[in-house]
Structure 1
């Protein structure tokens, strides 16, 4: 009975056409008013057909989101109980769409987002922008911690020092605390500091000494032999 009802709804509603050059969908468009309904949509460039619940339309990103998870077997079950299988489709890829099922909406609500069930919250663009800037800042900080044109051993020295003291690369030099300079090949003999900051060298020297001591001890450690159990039967 539910399938027959859906087909009858589909047969009564003409298929709106949205050309590939469409770049905005406003509050008066058929797609905007169909938020929360089940639709069948044909997409460029391969005429792919998707059927599901129209979750949202957005004229900022110029795209729609459709949940293609199957409808609940019980026709009276709320759409909010559906699992999620979402697809993002740009407006420009929409060739046409067909409304195949009515939307579940809040009582006495108008078209669009406000009456959609489940409810659709407004996007906090300021918070998204702040997260984007924070992510970019962290990526730049991580990139600054990687030496350019240096050996793996040089990067290991840098990592060992930077875990204790603020460090940065200056070409192939390591600058520690904006005072101590570690020149290639990054040994204890390659430490220097400007006049008046010589006291900072002692701490860096201690870190390097510990690093090279651990590395020497690790290389000199004898390999552990795993005993082989005797074979059964002699």
Structure 2
């Protein structure tokens, strides 16, 4: 009985097709499959997402909503299934992103006359969420600080190239501050680098790096300009 129930909800969800492409008559409508999946809430389920970034997830089915066209599972281990002691690790998928699904084991409903159950809600790991949120905020703040205010495109490209090679650099108005000691003023050439007397060794290294990065940027611009230049028709045979 359990095997026939499991087979009835395990299946493949078709990715939406382009207009004019017929859908095989043997494939159930996606909404019907989602409604069937909704009767397995609390079961262990395996979901494979669609290409190009196909991945497989296994966990406890938390919800399958035909209104929002989403499926949510808790990917904690089998030992945590049905337990609210361990924080849940929830993943949400839109129907169009699901390539296939398979019900691995049905939920123990405790009521043979009712196949629709409610998955236990595990506590959310708020500490982890706060850490992820703070990491995202810090990343956005850093990206904002790395954008020069009122500087040219070339200046920003120079700054980004220094940042890319892990050179400790930051903006101070329209000046670049490197190693918290070297000041590079517009137009950001080697001769525009200044430093205190006790930082002359650092100044020499920064000048060398700046010269190399400016050379790379110039070569890149020349390649892009050459590639964008239309080539005239070839003369002769």
Q: TM-score, normalised by structure 1?
A: 0.49
- Structure with greater Cα Rg: 1
User: Whose helix fraction is larger, Structure 1's or Structure 2's?
Assistant: 2
Q: TM-score, normalised by structure 2?
A: 0.48
